Structure 1
Amino acid sequence: MRTLTPFLSVPLLAAVTVSLAACAESGQPARFDDIGDASVGAALIEANGCGSCHIIPGIDGAEGLVGPPLNHMGHRIFIAGLLRNTPDNMVAWLRDPQEVVPGNAMPDMGLSESQAKNVTAYLYTLE
């Protein structure tokens, strides 16, 4: 097995580091900043009692065991086991979960479009 010489590995390491830094500093805001106000979303989550059914990091008393834990929502692939995890799908799910999956346990919380976007923004901070 061959190893890289020290002279080759240093430039290679530098190139990889610069490439990764460019990805992280693309000038694009975080995914949730484009959607809504995460702090307002957190307040809505608390006010609507979402924690009575879900475990939700960062929300006091959110230790419910009825619905799934919402940790890592920012990295999950699916919502409700079948929708791709996109901002539009999350908003649709939050606004009318029975339309998406009839008969599921998630109640209609009566969220407006703006409120659902703010809740979505908060959920996307959960990485």
Structure 2
Amino acid sequence: MSRRTADRWLLLVALPPLLALPGCARTNPPPPPEVRAGRPDRGAALIAQYGCGSCHTIPGVDRANGLVGPPLTRFGSRSYIAGKLVNNADNLQHWITDPQAVEPGNAMPNLGVKPIDAQDIAAYLYTLD
């Protein structure tokens, strides 16, 4: 058998299993995270009260059309918070209450958000999927 024929044979034998690897299969994304105890309706009001919309675009919140921070559209579908934390309720609440502890020097200021308020803000953000 020639080298060229052997290479073709190897390609025909090796390629199909590689294409069938589970990591290459398309799977449904996991459901968006949620805050079971949070109140999304209160969270939307708190977002307006804390002035989050001066820096972020946030659907469903009046005058939340800021361009300093990233838009928070489809937040519940995101994998990471600030490119650093896995997007889950505990991490989001930590980020909201003390963003400088997560990523020192980032542009998001510490607004003094109370933990109960962060819980409700997170609950609202997770409705944005």
**Structure-2 separation of matches of 1:33 and 1:126:** 13
Alignment of 1:78-93 (within 5 A): 78-93=80-95
Counterpart residue number, 1:68: 70
Aligned residues: 99
Counterpart residue number, 1:103: 105
Quote how far apart the aligned CAs of 1:33 are: 5.4
Q: Which amino acid aligns with 1:102?
A: P
Structure with max Cα Rg: 2
Gap runs ≥5 in structure 2: 1-30
> Contact conserved, 1:35 with 1:87, CA < 8 A, in 2?
no
> Contact conserved, 1:91 with 1:113, CA < 8 A, in 2?
yes
What is the CA deviation profile of residues 65-118 of structure 1, one whole-angstrom value per residue up to 9, with x for unaligned ones? Answer: 000000011110000011100000000000000000000000111111110000
Q: Which amino acid aligns with 1:50?
A: C
Do the aligned partners of residues 100 and 68 (structure 1) sit closer, same or farther apart at CA in structure 2, a change above 3 Å counting? same
Quote how far apart the aligned CAs of 1:35 are: 3.7
Of all paired residues, the percent bearing the same amino acid is 53
Counterpart residue number, 2:9: none
**Structure-2 separation of matches of 1:85 and 1:53:** 20
SS in 2 for 1:88: helix
What root-mean-square deviation, in Å, do the aligned CA atoms of Structure 1 and Structure 2 show?
1.6
**Structure-2 separation of matches of 1:49 and 1:86:** 23
TM-score by structure 1 length?
A: 0.74
Q: Residue 122 of structure 2 is aligned with which of 116, 120, 125?
A: 120
Runs of at least 4 residues off by over 2 Å: 30-33
TM-score by structure 2 length?
A: 0.73
Gap runs ≥5 in structure 1: 1-23, 25-29
> Contact conserved, 1:35 with 1:120, CA < 8 A, in 2?
no
